[in-house]
Amino acid sequence: MSNPTHSGVVLSLEGRVALITGGSRGIGAATVRLFRQAGAKVVFNYRFAAQQAEALAAECGGPDFCRAIHQPLTTPEEGQALVEAAVSAFGRLDCAILNHGIWPAHDAPIATLTTEQWRNTMSINLDSVYGTIRASVAQMQSQQPATSNARGHIVLVSSTAGQRGEAFHADYAATKGALISLTKSLSSELIGQGIYCNCVAPGWVATEATVDVLSNPEVAKPLLSLIPLGRPAHVEEIAAPILFLCTPYAGFVSGEIFNVNGGAVLVG
């Protein structure tokens, strides 16, 4: 019997258009690169990192394939505007990756947590997510599916903080916990229409946002001791599960909380 030919497994998003929020740095930038490698056209937003964003868009094929949009995300209306920009760029929307968010690095005990910080975290991490998803779903419902497998995919990026809480960061943990509940609600509502909604929940990830924390041995050692794998994630290790959830190989996965945390939190 002759040996079969092995051509490999291909995670292809050829012909799809993806919107990736917070795409200029960290997990978002890794996700932009991976989606482009999978063949998708990509739109991503940035707020401050204009030079990095434009360089990433150029690296990923330029305006015919990848576009960086200057769009803050603090309100539902700004989320709506970003979706409209993505559709204007490439004519449709097949994948919406809600990756943006802030984590105020300073400790804020609940007794002194300011209303200003609470509202700012809620507006960026939750209000704008709602507006972006609302507009994304409406667009997906209005267009012909790119494939027979799905009308669209939504992936929310939560956190282990949303599952077990995080002392002195109640504002951040509350928003990330809300994204988990939102994922399950949207799955129940939309999967019958062929729109998949799932969630990736990372633990500590080595990014520009966490470098000050993870480079301080006195702070990093107790944090990493809670991770059985003993290290933070690389950004590509978060981007890859996000990509997988938008492919036909995840065709029977809906409403899932995909834990990517080195074994630190073993819950759904």
190-229: pLDDT as tens digits: 999 999 999 999 998 988 777 778 878 888 888 888 899 9
| Phi/psi of residue 154, nearest 5 degrees | -125, 130
Mean model confidence pLDDT for the chain: 94
- The predicted structure's pLDDT at residue 163: 94
List domains and CATH numbers for the chain.
17-257 (3.40.50.720)
C-alpha to C-alpha distance for 225 and 264, rounded to whole angstroms: 9
| pLDDT, tens only, 67-94 | 999 999 999 999 999 999 999 999 999 9
Best CA proximity match to 174, nearest among 117, 136, 212:
117
Model-level pTM? 0.93
Q: What is the pLDDT of residues 136-149, one digit of tens each?
A: 999 999 999 887 77
pLDDT tier at 44, thresholds 50, 70, 90: very high
User: What SS3 string covers 65-118?
Assistant: CEEEEECCCCCHHHHHHHHHHHHHHHCCCCEEEECCCCCCCCCCCCCCCCHHHH
Q: Catalytic residues, which ones? A: 172
Q: What is the mean pLDDT of residues 148-156?
A: 92
**pLDDT attached to residue 5:** 64
How do residues 156-186 score in pLDDT, each as one tens digit? 999 999 999 999 999 999 999 999 999 999 9
pLDDT given for residue 2 in this prediction: 47
Residue 257 tokens, joined: 């909380």
